[in-house]
Amino acid sequence: MEKLVIEGGRPLTGAIKIHGAKNAALPILAAGMMAEGTIEISNVPDLSDIQVMLSILRALGCRTDHHEDTVTVNTSTAHSHHIPESLMSQMRSSIFLMGPLLARFGRVQVYQPGGCAIGERKIDLHLSGLIALGAEIEESGNTIVCTAKELRGAEIVLDFPSVGATENIMMAATMAKGLTTISNAAREPEIQDLQNFLNAMGAKIIGAGTDTITIEGVSELTPCTYRIIPDRIVAGTMMIAAAVTRGNVTLENVYPAHLTSAIHVLKRAGVQIAIHGDIINVSCLSRPKSVERIVTSPHPSFPTDLQSQIMVLLSLADGLSIVKETVFEGRFKHVDELSRMGADIRLDLNSAFVKGVPRLYGATVEATDLRAGAALVIAGLAAQGTTVIEQIHHIDRGYDRIELMLSRLGAHIHRVSPVPSE
Which three-class secondary structure state does DSSP give residue 256? helix
Cβ–Cβ < 8 Å for 313, 320:
no
Stated as kind and residue range, the H or E segment containing 138 is: strand 136-140
Active-site residue, from 62, 116, 146, 224: 116
Q: Are 362 and 385 in contact (CB under 8 A)?
A: yes
* Neighbour-count burial for 83-118, b at 16+ CB within 10 Å, e otherwise: bbeebbbbbbbbbbbbbbbbbbbebbbbbbbbbbeb
Strand order in the sheet with 364-366: 364-366, 386-390, 3-7, 412-416
Show Cβ contacts of residue 414 under 8 Å, excluding neighbours closer than 6 positions: 4, 5, 403, 407
Phi, psi of 134 (to 5 degrees): 110, 5
DSSP, res 32: G
Residue 182 CA to residue 165 CA, distance in Å, equals 10
Amino acid in the structure at residue 18: I
CB 95 within 8 A of CB 349: no
- 351-355 sheet: strands from edge to edge: 294-295, 320-324, 351-355, 344-348
Q: Do residues 344 and 354 touch, judged by C-beta distance below 8 A?
A: yes
- Residue 116 annotated in active site: yes
Catalytic positions are 116
